[in-house]
Chain A
């Protein structure tokens, strides 16, 4: 039955994937991708959808489901692609059996991220097709298309979205669901056992498929001349969501032709035709100048190509209808000047949050050591970098607190303290802790356990109720695995333990454990509603 729904881009993708007959979705939460998996979990019990420990385990499980002949979706934020990269790149070498779509949600302007890397580079690197929807409707429509293409080409397909699509709502017309694939494991071992002999053949086959990928791109319903014009001083190549910002400025009224690109490899002949009609090209793409670089190579050095590299568009940050308009010579309207009485209002840890007590305790003890360093990690507790705590000295990537503390301790830093959340520890902290144990590093690891993945809205955390066992199993001395309850009334006990463990010449672990207030309140509300 065809119906129209008001959907977030993430929700449109979720429904598109369910309707494309997926049998599993594999993901680790990460803004702005989280709502895809949440939606599938809430609405499609026939789809396997438990949260994974990290993006690499997610990618591999999805590949396993594909191997078995069924369709699978794997979702992550852009930096998750770095974690999944080994499996991702090699999935292009093995190829797929059941359709496999990798969804990477990029975050230009770093609304909730530590960089704005552009996942399209990963797709190009792995030499597979990439889809980049401009609208929520395309995001829905593209899922069936992507799974069909994946099975026809026998390759994984990357779908790249940005925050503004993921977290923006629009009307979407949805159709009926397809049936799931039958179990049908692949028997072709030479495709899946990537010994060098097999891998060379598989890579040669991937290389040989590239012209086919180009013809898919050229005949794609998502790549097209969107605005026609005979001759123009400038033509626009509008990629993914940037197409909306271009169209908002009404290029038709200015006689500017537009080619819309939402499938890669870059449709070369379509862009060459546009270039022949125009004196110059403007490349509008959200993220890094991937298409701009390729088009420059395509049209030659005498032809003028404008974009982020030339300063016609900002080199970094999310595009806006204003900056795209300016690149077309449309002035930004200034009716009101910026207000005077406005101050930044950064996010902060919730009042009563256990992380607050952890930082209060750490700050008290660390004040006694001139050379102390606290290595932070990714999560709500990264907000400990801001006032009033100003408690952490670093935050780089998932798990880096423990390993950076180890390296700094190796270099002579003391005390070297790591602060990591429970979900982040399960994601990428365990292996680093093993390194530290094996090397007898003098570090103190604080696993601030709130029993959930809080920053992204309270998803299950893979290691809940297992942290003491994990630490002991990795070889931390039982005498130096401590559990405390982070509350102001326990401040004396917590600070005493931190002091003792800093003085211990080896790896020690302190686990302050108290449930996240957001998830606790949600549970209480649900309980009341049931009564």
Chain B
């Protein structure tokens, strides 16, 4: 079994934290993993993506082939669309519905939302709003991970949930609890 995931967003939105949690869970579960990250210039507010590959077998390429990705997890709707060429037929797109506009020629919001909605398997929610309403403004990325959890399949939501405790452990029990709460919010929102 394999799961090829593209994590997408804008520099600074926290996609590497999502990758760290999934990576930690995969390591604990004894899966093979390769995860190509973006460091350097693009982190300054540019588009960032990470190819995250999980498998029960050996993985060769750090990059995912076009037409074969199983899942896009995106902190931003336009960034989710940037990688649709990589998806296979059955793939899911789990994305924030809230645009991050830091360019002057950002597309028309309605047209963008329509194009996202037209994809066959989509889960899209205003995660920034949900995070604010629940007094966890910095945990939008973990809400998104919760939304994606049941589509990762090669790992169970419970395996991911346990890794949140490990990844945030150094920041104290309150932060761990807040992020597990965020994870559950996302998980339950896409039932």
Contacts and interface: CB of A to CB of B under 8 A. Distances in A.
Do the two chains bind? yes
Interface of A: 4, 6, 8, 31-32, 34-35, 111-112, 164-165, 167-171, 241, 243-245, 247-248, 320-322, 325, 332-350, 380, 383, 387, 455-457
Nearest to B110: A341
Interface stretch (B38-46, B140-148, B182-190): B38-46
B61 interface: yes
A112 B78 contact: no
Interface string B29-57: 00011111111111111110000000000
Contact of A343 (B60, B67, B89, B106): B106
Contact of B78 (A248, A338, A343, A380): A343
A243 B59 CA distance: 12
Contacts of B60: 243-245, 247-248
B45 to A, nearest CB: 5
Interface in B55-71: 59-68
B40 A455 contact: yes
Given A32-B39, A170-B33, A244-B62, A343 B46 contact: no
B27 interface: yes
B44 A350 contact: yes
Nearest to A169: B35
A106 to B, nearest CB: 14
B133 interface: no
Interface of B: 10-11, 23-24, 27, 32-47, 59-68, 78-79, 81-82, 84-85, 87-89, 91, 102-108, 111-112, 115, 119
B107 A341 contact: yes
B45 A347 contact: yes
A347 B45 CA distance: 5
A170 B55 CA distance: 12
A335 B85 CA distance: 7
A348 B45 contact: yes
Contacts of A346: 46, 103
A272 B87 CA distance: 40
Contact of B45 (A112, A171, A338, A350): A350
Per DSSP, chain A at the interface is loop
A333 B66 contact: yes
A53 B67 CA distance: 46
Given A164-B36, A241-B62, A387-B104, 11 more contacts: A6-B23, A32-B39, A112-B42, A335-B88, A337-B84, A340-B115, A342-B81, A343-B78, A347-B45, A349-B44, A455-B40
A338 B102 contact: no
B27 A171 contact: yes
Contacts of A347: 11, 41-46
B115 to A, nearest CB: 5
Residue of B11, B63, B88, B108 contacting most chain A CB atoms (<10 Å)? B63
B171 to A, nearest CB: 8
A334 B85 CA distance: 7
A348 B23 contact: no
A320 B63 CA distance: 7
A39 B35 CA distance: 18
Contacts of A32: 39-40
Given A335-B67, A349-B44, A456-B40, A341 B62 contact: no
A345 B102 contact: yes
A338 B85 contact: yes
Given A6-B33, A168-B37, A322 B44 contact: no
Contacts of B44: 347-350, 380, 383
A325 B64 CA distance: 12
Contact of A333 (B47, B62, B65, B105): B65
A341 B81 contact: yes
A347 B105 CA distance: 14
25 contacts: A6-B23, A6-B24, A6-B33, A112-B39, A112-B42, A169-B37, A171-B32, A243-B60, A245-B63, A321-B61, A322-B65, A325-B65, A332-B66, A333-B65, A334-B67, A335-B87, A336-B84, A339-B81, A339-B82, A341-B115, A343-B105, A343-B107, A345-B78, A350-B45, A457-B39
